[in-house]
Structure 1
Amino acid sequence: MTGSRPTPYAVSLALRQFDEGVWKKAVAGMAGRAQYAAELLAGTMPQDIDAVFRAAGVSLFPRSREELVTNCTCPDWGDPCKHVAATHYVLGEALDRDPFLLFELRGWTKARVLDALRAARGGEPRTAVKRKRAASADGEVAPVPRGVKPGKLTRADYDLPRKPLPAMGFSFDAPSVHGAVLRQLGSPASWGVKDTPGDMLSSQVQAAAEGARRIALRETDSRDEVPAARKPRR
C-alpha cells in the first residue's frame, strides 16, 4: 500500500515597495542621526528605525493586513490559511536573523542603503572602493584621495599650540558655605548613622579646602610648618 503525496500549494507574499523619493528622504534621515548611521554601518538595525520612515510619510512595517498581501492556491476557506500562517512564521524568523531583509522587501537592498548612507555622510560608497582596489590589483595607479596638506613642522614647534590658548581665570575665595556639596548629595541609601555625611565630614572638608587655598596662594600657616629638629643634649 502506497501513501499519497501531499498536494503542493503555492504561497505568495507581496509588500508595497517605496519609490526613490521616499528612500532618499529616509536615507537623509538616517544620515542626520549619528547613532543611526553608526549602528547601520556596523551591521545593526536601530530599534527606532521606523522614525525616519515615518518622517518620510511612510512606515517601514506594515500598518494593516491590507498592506501585506498574501495568497495561497489551497482550497481552504480560512483567511489566512495554515499555509499562509506558516509563511508568516518563516518570514518572522528570517527577519530576526537579518532585519535588513525588510529593506529589500521595501525595494532597496542592504548594500544599496549602506552605500547611499555613506555617500550622504560624505564618505565613499563601498562599491566604488572595491572598484578602486580591483584596479590597483590589476596594476593601475589608484588616484590620490583628497585631503588636507599639512604645513612644515619643525621639532621646536611640535609642542607649540596651533593658535593662542583661551584666557583662564581662577578664584580662590573662601566659599560662603562649607560642605555645600555634601549637603546636596545627602545620605546614601545604605547610610545607617544618625549624623549625615555632611555633619561628620564638614570640618575635614573645610580644613582640606583651606589647606588647598593656602597652597595655591603660597600662604603659610603655623599648622603647615614643620618643627625644627632639637639638638641632642650633651
Structure 2
Amino acid sequence: MSESPSGRFADYGRPRRVDGGLRARSTRGAIGRSWWSRRFLEVLESFALGTRLTRGRSYARAGQVVRLDIAPGAVTAVVQGSRPKPYDVHIGLPAFPAALWERIEAHLAAQAFFSARLLAGDLPAELEEVFAEADAPLFPAGIDELTQRCSCPDFAVPCKHLAATFYLLAEAFDADPFELLHWRGRGRAELLDRLRALRAEATGAPSPGPSHEDGATGEVTAAAAPAVGAARALAGLPPAPIADVADRFWLPPVPLPDRPPSLATGPDLLLRQLGPPAPAIGGPGLVERLRRAYRAFGR
C-alpha cells in the first residue's frame, strides 16, 4: 500500500462501542500515578513516540481494550476498533534469565530496606538503580527492545491499538506494581517467597512456608508465618511473672545491623523529585533524556 497511515486509515470512522471493556481510570490529563507507571510512559515518550502514543489515549479511556494479559516477556491484548473483528495486540519485552533474578534477589534480600518495602507490596524508586547496576535495566533502554505487533492494517508503530494497550499497561502497573516485575520474569508470589527464604537464611530464622494468593482478595500471604516480635521472644517460655521476662519482651524479630543501611543516591535524584516539564520545553520525554545524560556524566 502506498498511501500514508494518516491518509487512508483515518477514514475508518469511530471505533465500535464496547460493553464491559477495560476503561482507564484517568479521565483527563496524564495517565499514571505511581513512579513506576510514570517512568514507563516517560521512557516510551523518550523514544519519540509521544504524538503516536496520544492517539490511543482516547481508546484507553473509552474502554476499547477488551482484554489485557501480562506474562513473562509478553503482554497481549484484544482491542476493538472500527471494524467488526477486534484486533490482536502483542508487546514483547525480554524476561530476565533465572540466574540474573537470583543475583538481584540476593542483593534485595541483603538490605532490610528493600525487603521491607517489597514485602509490604511497594516498589521503592531505588529498585530501578539495583537493576541498572546489574546491567539489566528495569525499563526498556531502546525502542528495539520492544516487539510491537497489531493485527490492524495501520502501518504506524505504535498504532492507536498498541498505544491504548501501553496506557492500560501503565495503569495495570499502578494497580499492582509487581506486574512490572512479572513482565520481566518474576511473579509476585515467587519473588516474595525467595526474599523471605533468603532473609530467613541470613538471620537463622525458620524458613517460612510458600506464599499463596487469596482468590477473593488477591492478597499474597505466607502459608505458615513464623512468630515475630514479642511472640517470638516469648515462644516456648513457661508462664512467668512479667518482671522475669521483661528484658526479652522487646527483642527484634531479626538481628539489627550495627548501623542503619545506607543507599547510594543516583545522579538523577532531583529529577525524581520534580514533576514533568511543560510540553513547550519537551514534556515527560525530556525527563528521560536528562536522566540518561546525568547517569552518563555520573560515570
| TM category, shorter | 0.5 to 0.7
Q: Specify which structure has the bigger relative contact order, considering alpha-carbon pairs within 8 angstroms and separated by 6 or more residues.
A: 2
How far the C-alpha of 1:19 sits from its partner, in A, is 0.7
In 2, Cα distance between the equivalents of 1:88 and 1:25? 29
Say yes or no: does 1:50 pair with 2:140.
no
How far the C-alpha of 1:55 sits from its partner, in A, is 2.5
How far the C-alpha of 1:6 sits from its partner, in A, is 3.1
- 1:148–1:57: structure 2 CA closer, same or farther, 3 Å change rule? farther
In 2, Cα distance between the equivalents of 1:99 and 1:126? 23
Say yes or no: does 1:72 pair with 2:174.
no
- Determine if contact 2:148/2:157 at 8 Å carries over to the other structure: no
Pick one of 28, 45, 49 that aligns with 2:106. 28
- Determine if contact 1:116/1:125 at 8 Å carries over to the other structure: no
**Stretches of structure 2 lacking an aligned partner (at least 5 in a row):** 1-15, 17-81, 212-221, 226-231, 249-299
Length, aligned pairs only: 146
Alignment map for 1:5-20 (pairs within 5 Å)? 6-20=84-98
Question: By percentage of residues, which structure has more helix?
Answer: 2
How far the C-alpha of 1:147 sits from its partner, in A, is 9.6
How far the C-alpha of 1:69 sits from its partner, in A, is 1.2
How far the C-alpha of 1:151 sits from its partner, in A, is 9.8
Q: Match of 1:59, SS? A: coil
Q: Please, what TM-score do these two structures have when normalized by structure 1?
A: 0.53
Letter matched to residue 21 of structure 1: A
Say yes or no: does 1:114 pair with 2:201.
no
Q: Please, what TM-score do these two structures have when normalized by structure 2?
A: 0.42
In 1, Cα distance between the equivalents of 2:130 and 2:171? 24
Q: Match of 1:12, SS? A: strand
Say yes or no: does 1:104 pair with 2:182.
yes
Say yes or no: does 1:127 pair with 2:199.
no
How far the C-alpha of 1:56 sits from its partner, in A, is 2.1
Q: Match of 1:121, SS? A: helix
How far the C-alpha of 1:7 sits from its partner, in A, is 3.4
Alignment map for 1:178-193 (pairs within 5 Å)? none
Higher gyration radius (CA): 1
**Stretches of structure 1 lacking an aligned partner (at least 5 in a row):** 134-145, 163-234
In 2, Cα distance between the equivalents of 1:32 and 1:49? 13
Letter matched to residue 192 of structure 2: L
How far the C-alpha of 1:148 sits from its partner, in A, is 10
TM-superposition CA deviations, 1:152-190 (whole Å, max 9, x none): 9x98x959x99xxxxxxxxxxxxxxxxxxxxxxxxxxxx
How far the C-alpha of 1:43 sits from its partner, in A, is 1.0
Alignment map for 1:58-207 (pairs within 5 Å)? 58-122=136-200, 124-127=207-210, 130=223, 158=244
